[in-house]
Amino acid sequence: MLLSSFSAFFLAVAGIVTAQEQQQQQSTTNGTSLNPVASQYGSTFKNTGGKLLTGFVNAYVIFYGDWSSTNGTTDQKTFLGFVDGIATTPWFSILDEYTDGNGTPVGKLNLAAALHDSGSAGLNLTDHNTHKSIILNAVKSGYLSENNQLDSNGVYVIILGPDVHDSEFCSSNCGYNSYSDQFQYVFIGYPGACPETCTPPSIQNKSPNNSPSMDSVITLFSHELQDILTDPRMDAWSIRNGNDVLEVGDFCSGTNTSPEQWFGKTQTTPDGASYNLEFHDAKYLVQTIYSKEKNTCLLSK
């Protein structure tokens, strides 16, 4: 969705869902049943004619705000490690089911560049235009590309540090994907500011990389990545439902989605952290991907 495709773990398509309500939903939802989005639209879901991100899809990561602490430095490495290797996983290969009009599947994500912006647009962000200006500032800096040009087939990713306030974060969304005429991007706030809203319950206390906030960013990104690759301009793999735009990631998340559908089969580290994906000697908690072929939410095929 444009404004809150993953929204929050207690924020769903229909609005705010409290922790108590989520527990009630989980207790009444069959672990193997589909959520309302997949149940209603799964059999007819198709590309409505728009473009996908195909071929070589470069990712440009902008760590915005204060990332100077030891934990901040470690968190950056954790996120970049995820972006750098995710396209090689069986999880990512599920997205091969989503193709353009010529039958070409989404492209493989490639970590192209990353930079730290301590606050070129200020530390109190007010709207999506401000987010876009952060990307433009980063491109103009020369650190994201040799020729200071935007990559129209790439994905720009903004991750907020703990010192940055965003007017919609924690209340309307935890992250979203959107676009301009020249580029598409993902925005994710700092989940540590509102863990009760933007961190999965299973990793609020212990997380696979010993950072509940960054591990939550990765979970959020695993949702937004599905959407931005398959529906970068909101006109491909998406469904208009009133004011909402339903995308691939919404088929396995949101209201009345059981933990089993949302995250699949999870494992636990020796210190009690939940994870469901492992590669390059690192563990992560990602959202499942809806398989049209099997009509269910999967971590691999």
pLDDT at 241: 83
Tens digits of residue pLDDT in 13-53: 223 333 334 444 443 344 457 999 999 999 999 999 999 99
pLDDT at 32: 57
Taking the domains of the chain in order of start, what are their residue ranges? 11-298
pLDDT at 4: 34
Where is average pLDDT lowest: 4-8, 202-206, 235-239? 4-8
For residues 153 and 121, is the Cβ–Cβ distance under 8 A?
no
Tens digits of residue pLDDT in 142-189: 999 888 999 999 999 999 999 999 999 999 999 999 999 999 999 999
User: Rg for the chain (alpha carbons), in Å?
Assistant: 18
* Both tokens assigned to 206: 């212990």
How large is the average pLDDT for residues 54-75? 98
* Both tokens assigned to 247: 């995308």
* Both tokens assigned to 237: 């793999």
Phi-psi region of 90 (alpha: psi -120 to 50; beta: other; left: phi over 0): alpha
